[in-house]
Amino acid sequence: MCDRLNSIVTRFQTVNRLKGTMMSSLSPLLDGYDLHGLRLPNRVVMAPMTRSRAPLRGRPTEMMAEYYAQRASAGLIITEATNVSSASAAFELTPGIMTLEQIDGWRHITRTVHAVGGRIFMQLWHGGRVSSFALLGGEAPLSPSGVNDDLEHLQVWAQLQNGHYTRIHATSSRAMSLDEVNLTIGAFKQGAVNAIAAGFDGVEIHAANGYLPHQFLSSTTNTRDDRYGGSIANRANFLRDMLTEIGSVVPLDRVGVRLSPYAHYNNVRDMDPDGTYDYVGKMLGEFGVAYIHAADSNGWSGAPDLPRIIERMRKAYSGTLMVNGGISIDQADDLIGHGDADLVAFARKFIANPDLVERIATQAALASPKSTGWYGGGDAGYIDYPFDDSAGQNVPARTAQV
């Protein structure tokens, strides 16, 4: 075990020591949590964040292993959205979980994270209509019903030849055939199988943010007249069948589901989100999934719906509730302390604070992310954020190569 890896282990030991000696002053975020037998040392989750640093056929890189290992003191890491199909990408340079090469790259990451004491789930992703032929080898994006009246609202991103990463225009999608629906469900199932083979502790289905499973749930983007369209129950069949298939190969208490009931992001426009998510929350409880990851993506733009989301989810679903979306540390403490949430996922705070858990423990100031380096590129804005030394450790920002 090399020096950098040892330094990360030392940091985790410091957090545990601080927790033992300062319990009365520590936040509820630092309490442990039993996630269906997977013991989390704290309730701070690293949220999935697209970073677009897999330039070679979607294979995860050594730099990505370093990035995740730096943040492995999180109670749980959820990876960036990972393509389950060649028809999936909404962002260029995102990783996949389809090929042996990709599986091998992810296996190196899980080994690195586990070696420093972390726990990690993979987020499984299909962008559906949120894409462009430019990212899909000239093919039209797939969608439930070929709804294309709002392409200017869809968030599709790519890297220009000059190296800058920027938003590009979405192109028209086409409605999926029943065979394509079944093949896509199969792709999620195979993605889960491949993720477990790569050493992940579990997987999360990305059914939020206007991506394909979310598109099936919406009465606006899904106008099908087969068993996958029409009533709320029918529109939920895509997610239901996916969970049934995944559950045949992976225990469902290791499968989380991310939802964003009121999201404006990617313009999903559900006409009855309360009815939809009352039904979906109850369905997920019946499946016994690991958790619901309820994302308030409107919180990013200063119009939070989190209280409304929590109220509805708690009524419909009695399992583990993870929340996310523009939440401060103080707010997170209150949510955990009052039982409104069981876990809180942070995204941007983890970009700039690889040692976020340690900073919470020592009440150190949080750094702010740089305005560049979020998508694409190299070390800058990715693995070059410094650790705070207030816990008495002098640890470099870069971690072990194992």
Residue 160 lies in a domain: yes
pLDDT of residue 299: 83
Q: Is the pLDDT of residue 214 over 90?
A: yes
Q: Is residue 138 part of a domain?
A: yes
pLDDT band at 397; cut points 50, 70, 90: very low
Residue 22: pLDDT band by 50, 70, 90 thresholds? Answer: very low
Active site (annotated) includes residue 211: yes
Domain range holding 70?
A: 3-362
Q: Give 398 or 317, the one with higher predicted confidence.
A: 317
Over residues 230-249, the mean pLDDT reads 98
Residue 125 covered by a domain:
yes
Q: What is the pLDDT of residues 247-288, one digit of tens each?
A: 999 999 999 999 999 999 999 999 999 999 999 999 999 999
The answer to whether residue 108 sits within a structural domain is: yes
The 10s digit of each residue's pLDDT in 82-134 is: 999 999 999 999 999 999 999 999 999 999 999 999 999 999 999 999 999 99
* pLDDT in the model for residue 301: 77
Secondary structure string (H, E, C) spanning the chain: CCHHHHHHHHHHHHHHHHHHHCHHHCCHHHCCEEECCEEECCCEEECCCCCCCCCCCCCCCHHHHHHHHHCCCCCEEEEEEEECCCCCCCECCCCECCCHHHHHHHHHHHHHHHHCCCCEEEEEECCCCCCCHHHCCCCCCEECCCCCCCHHHCCEEEECCCCCEEEECCCCCEECCHHHHHHHHHHHHHHHHHHHHCCCCEEEEECCCCCHHHHHHCCCCCCCCCCCCCCHHHHCHHHHHHHHHHHCCCCHHHEEEEECCCCCCCCCCCCCHHHHHHHHHHHHHHHCCCEEEEECHHHHHCCCCHHHHHHHHHHHCCCCEEEECCCCHHHHHHHHHCCCCCEEEECHHHHHCCCHHHHHHHCCCCCCCCCCCCCCCCCCCCCCCCCCCCCCCCCCCCCCCC
Residue 357 forms part of a structural domain:
yes
Number of domains in the chain: 1
Mean pLDDT (the chain) is: 93
Residue 257 lies in a domain: yes
CATH code for the domain of 150: 3.20.20.70
pTM: predicted TM-score of the whole model, two decimal places: 0.94
Residue of 67, 68, 165, 211 marked active site: 211
Q: Does some domain include residue 372?
A: no
**What average pLDDT does the segment 360-364 reach?**
95
Is residue 65, in this structure, part of any structural domain at all?
A: yes
Residue 26: the pLDDT is 77
pLDDT digits (tens, 9 = 90+) for 41-87: 999 999 999 999 999 999 999 999 999 999 999 999 999 999 999 99
